A and B are shown apart, each in its own frame.
Chain A
């Protein structure tokens, strides 16, 4: 009887170890912030949830409005020391943010498009939809750009923010 229990225990243990072993290789998901920044960043979900939460509504391709929660892109840029707010003037208005996704898809925003000194629209890096983690294939991080006719810039599986000067 005791031996039987031991076998069951070992069997369960071996099953539970498998995913654990698999996870050893995998780094937790993160996004990088680089380019024209004072402090290059690498932020995990844990880091983002410590920041001020922001919400945004987006009509997805299913035609339904969804409530997303995450962090305002401006706050992430602030944290990296990007020229936002009062600093967003002069030559800094020629800067853009390139948002890069895991599949290599890229979309660009001028910094002014993302700045509360210029617009009331808040673009967020979302990690939750209706209070739940984003679906596999769309998350863990998705850009949510409210108020656009197409969701093409609300890009999925965001992995990197790169700030650059627009140069000829």
Chain B
């Protein structure tokens, strides 16, 4: 009799243990990213870090968590502010040690379609990307191990990591994974341009002309006007992961992608950035040299600098409308900029799912 009680007790204990283990694994609920079909499905989610509700929620907290910095003063959001489409309005950003970053902080939108991160494309995947700003001495300046330790000591984080990853033991790897999951949900697809693509917005004549100029290659022989922007900022995403030397300097001060590839053809080559929310993300270029969209359009129209690695698509032989220059008129420039403003997604910059969870708003 006693023996059977012991047996039954053991059995119940085992069942409880097993269900607890499987329960942990099953708590995280899968999350399907929501995006329009015209963005295409060439998305990037690593097999070992699927999107989950709990992972994304944790990632949002971590994105705004100042404990991840050496001085407990800055978080990812320090340089990536939602109201500025996740930029900071500065040419260069100040890290925990008071020094400036080498390049302009990038806007965060539609990262699900990006494979190689940073201005020079050196990090494959958001998990690898997140490690740099977190640990770089001139940015947040704290090792992943130290960050994990700090979070481990809190009351709130261990259960949240448990919900997301099935363990209360916090690791640097899980911090990176949660951040990456949150960033993959930063999808901007409700600008007026998107509404136009869905048939829900009628652009003005100037905006329509801007759209046409943006996506059309000029052909002076056939009297076709165009700014050929879409050649590199292609498709409805205005992004197709390209790296080009866009003629900012005849001798690039920053080697750009060449420092990563070791190939001389990559000198002064940088990411062709997404133009989503571009009106909110000044200043522009990898060094934040242009403060307005007008200055950017002027650059492409009349100030492209020749150099051995200048993009072939910006060289003289590409047949602009005015000899070696693009030759847009003042009114065409205005129309082009009217289109760029159509790419502003106000619901993206006010979306509560992306906002600071530590502030009641």
Which positions in A face B, CB cutoff 8 Å?
25-27, 29, 61-62, 102-105, 136-138, 140, 156-157, 159
Contact = CB atoms under 8 A, between A and B. Distances in A.
B242 interface: yes
Please name the 4 residue pairs, one residue from A and one from B, whose CB atoms are nearest each other, closest first: A137-B312, A104-B242, A27-B262, A26-B264
Contact of B262 (A25, A61, A140): A25
Contact of A104 (B121, B263, B265): B121
Nearest to A135: B312
A159 B262 CA distance: 12
B315 A137 contact: yes
Contact of B269 (A27, A29, A61, A103): A103
A34 B244 CA distance: 24
A137 B269 contact: no
Contact of A103 (B244, B262, B308, B319): B244
A103 B311 contact: yes
Give the dominant DSSP class at B's interface: loop
Nearest to A156: B312
A105 B242 CA distance: 6
B265 A157 contact: yes
28 contacts: A25-B262, A26-B262, A26-B263, A26-B264, A27-B262, A29-B263, A29-B264, A29-B265, A62-B317, A102-B243, A102-B261, A102-B263, A102-B266, A103-B243, A103-B244, A103-B311, A104-B116, A104-B241, A104-B242, A104-B243, A136-B265, A137-B309, A137-B310, A137-B312, A137-B315, A156-B312, A159-B261, A159-B263
B119 to A, nearest CB: 13
Interface of B: 116, 121, 240-244, 261-266, 269, 308-312, 315, 317, 319
A31 to B, nearest CB: 11
A159 B242 CA distance: 14
A33 to B, nearest CB: 16
B309 A136 contact: yes
A69 to B, nearest CB: 20
Nearest to A105: B242
Contacts of A26: 262-264
Contacts of A62: 317
Given A29-B263, A104-B116, A159-B261, 13 more contacts: A26-B262, A27-B262, A27-B263, A102-B243, A102-B261, A102-B263, A104-B243, A105-B242, A136-B308, A137-B309, A138-B312, A156-B312, A157-B265
A157 B265 CA distance: 8
B25 to A, nearest CB: 27
A129 to B, nearest CB: 14
A27 B311 CA distance: 21
B125 to A, nearest CB: 15
A138 B266 CA distance: 12
Contacts of A29: 263-265
Contacts of A25: 262
B311 A137 contact: yes
Nearest to A30: B263
B312 A102 contact: no
Contacts of B309: 136-137
A27 B319 CA distance: 33
A140 B240 CA distance: 23
A157 B269 CA distance: 13
A27 B258 CA distance: 11
- Interface-central residue, B243, B262, B265, B319, by most chain A CB under 10 Å: B265
A103 B257 CA distance: 10
A113 to B, nearest CB: 21
Contacts of B317: 62
B257 to A, nearest CB: 8
Contacts of B269: 102-103
Contacts of A159: 261, 263
Contacts of B261: 102, 159
Nearest to B263: A29
A112 to B, nearest CB: 23
Contacts of A157: 265
Contacts of A105: 242
A137 B310 CA distance: 7
B270 to A, nearest CB: 11
A102 B265 contact: yes
